[in-house]
Chain A
Amino acid sequence: MAETANRVVEAPLVPPSGNSGLLEVFRRRYLLKLLVRRELSARYQGSFLGIFWSYIQPAVRLGMYYVVFAVIMGGRTENHAIHIFAGLVIVHYFTETFGAGTRSIMANKGLIKKMAVPREMFPVASMLVSAYHVVPGMLLLTGFCVALGWSPDLVGVGAALLGFAIVAVLGTALALVFSAANVYFRDFGNIVQTLTQIVTFSVPMIYPYSMVADRFGAAAPYYLLNPVAEAVLLFQRGFWTGTTNDPAATEKTDLPDHLFLIGFAHLGAALVVLVLAQMLFWKLEKKIPERL
């Protein structure tokens, strides 16, 4: 028999499938970085324009919305294009996170079936890839605002960051649950597409909030229960109101009272939803490798 070395292993005897969820994702940032890079390179693989597509796409989207809703149907507000674009950037971040996140586990099934890896990695990576794709839109948006004589103010930056945080947390939570559910029934992918369409029209983007307050009257606060609508309003505060002639007046008519208070409440709620999503994910993920 072969003479074997005596290997001393200090580690404790534990179940091999570690289960610290999102904390584990945070602990293994290097792997997360590689997964994000993989998804980015996969997205533009074999394309000549490569990363420029992430500039072309939002610009075309903006142009389309602008022509239809501002030119053809008549602008509803001052600087309507900025109003639309500010909303579009954050709404698109949400729908991308939700959509790509939902597909993420199926898209990595080769890896998940063969190797032990925290499955939360994949929806989180999708959220980060989507965040990366927000950058070109933000640059375009900032450029347009500056061209209109806008300069950033601290409160506005805070508002935009808060809106971004709400969408990031909520998008991750939804991506977690739907990515796991999508393994069991592919119907969830279709549900996401439908929800995505609803979201586009349920936020004050192509119409101003003042119209909602006007038509809904006392019911208007319920409209603000939608976290994405609140995030859009925070983005309007961050970019659009500053471009109008009288920002203070615009804020009074086109933003709800207690904008920040509502925003922080939404962020708190989104964090609670994230914790619940993780708990549901733990239940669902147990059978993911065998169902892939």
Chain B
Amino acid sequence: MTESIVVENVSKQFTLRYHRTIKQMSVAAARGHKLSETFLALDDVSFRVEQGESIGLMGLNGSGKSTLLKLINGIMTPDSGKVLTRGRIAGLIATGAGFHRQLTGRENIFLNAAVLGMSEAETRRKFDDIVEFAEVGKRLDSPVGQYSSGEFARLGFAVAIHVDSDIFLADEVLAVGDKPFKQKCMQRMQEVRKSGRTLFYVSHAAASVQKMCDRVLVLEKGKLGFDGDVKAGIRYLHYDEPGETAEEHADAELGADV
């Protein structure tokens, strides 16, 4: 087996900047306030992922899941430790693709695909499939700024899933989108998984993680609190506790990622 993702003693620190102008800064300094404050969004996180593994990344809001995916994706670099990956990476981070609101759906498909490393020929070949999956219909040639959030999300997912990547990252992709679309996405991600691509799936929905993943990581305030079996991971999070209403059950099934 080959390693697909290696994360070693990774920490990422963010600065909370209170004062940005010279006036605000001098006032704060005069009053003896702190000029800035830092905190660790990721704190000494280490794990290894084999090619073809399907990982469910869970944790409360603000626990550092999106930050971790940004480091794996290469958007950000860690302050200390190292991140290594093998092969091409595609996916959606922190809901919604990097679309340009003034550009049409068609233009955005080409631009997004190019950023993800697809050639012009490859994009043309897959274009019809992408459009069909996104179900944006006639709106393909209007600016994506005018899309509904569902259409926006569908188009983003459609492009990312059609990249022939070795690693697929899905960060709360199902947070927006209706039930049929969620089902379609789940099905596609199962295909991704079966094709031996590494899958990194962020979700709060225990049932969908259970269906999709063979290992769970749990982040707690930037620290890796749990790494192991799916069932044990969900138990660790107390997401399986009784008292759920029927509605919550339905959510758990399809992933109400909010």
Contact = CB atoms under 8 A, between A and B. Distances in A.
Interface of A: 1-9, 11-18, 28, 30-31, 34-35, 38, 41-42, 45, 108, 110-117, 185, 286, 289-290
Interface in B78-94: 82-89, 93-94
A266 to B, nearest CB: 35
Given A4-B196, A6-B52, A38-B111, A13 B86 contact: yes
A114 B77 contact: no
Interface in B104-145: 107, 110-112, 114-116, 119-120
A14 B97 contact: no
A2 B119 CA distance: 32
Q: Which 6 A-B pairs have the closest CB atoms?
A: A7-B196, A16-B74, A114-B98, A17-B74, A111-B98, A116-B74
Contacts of A113: 75, 98
A6 B74 contact: no
B203 interface: no
Given A13-B3, A15-B84, A289 B76 contact: yes
20 contacts: A2-B193, A7-B51, A7-B52, A9-B87, A12-B86, A13-B85, A14-B84, A14-B86, A15-B82, A15-B85, A16-B73, A34-B114, A38-B100, A38-B107, A42-B100, A110-B101, A114-B96, A116-B89, A116-B115, A289-B76
B244 to A, nearest CB: 26
Contacts of B82: 15
B115 A17 contact: no
B199 to A, nearest CB: 10
Identify whether the interface residues of A are mostly helix, strand, loop, or mixed.
loop
B166 A11 contact: yes
A217 B102 CA distance: 54
B86 A11 contact: yes
B6 interface: yes
Given A1-B214, A9-B2, A18 B74 contact: yes
B115 A117 contact: yes
A197 to B, nearest CB: 23
B158 to A, nearest CB: 15
B72 interface: yes
Given A30-B114, A42-B102, 9 more contacts: A9-B87, A11-B88, A13-B85, A14-B84, A15-B82, A17-B77, A38-B100, A110-B99, A114-B75
Contacts of B111: 31, 34-35, 38
A139 B119 CA distance: 34
B74 A3 contact: no
Contact of A114 (B4, B94, B193): B94
B209 to A, nearest CB: 14
Nearest to B103: A38
Interface string B156-168: 0000000000100
Contacts of A286: 77
Contacts of B76: 17, 289-290
Contacts of B75: 17, 112-116, 289
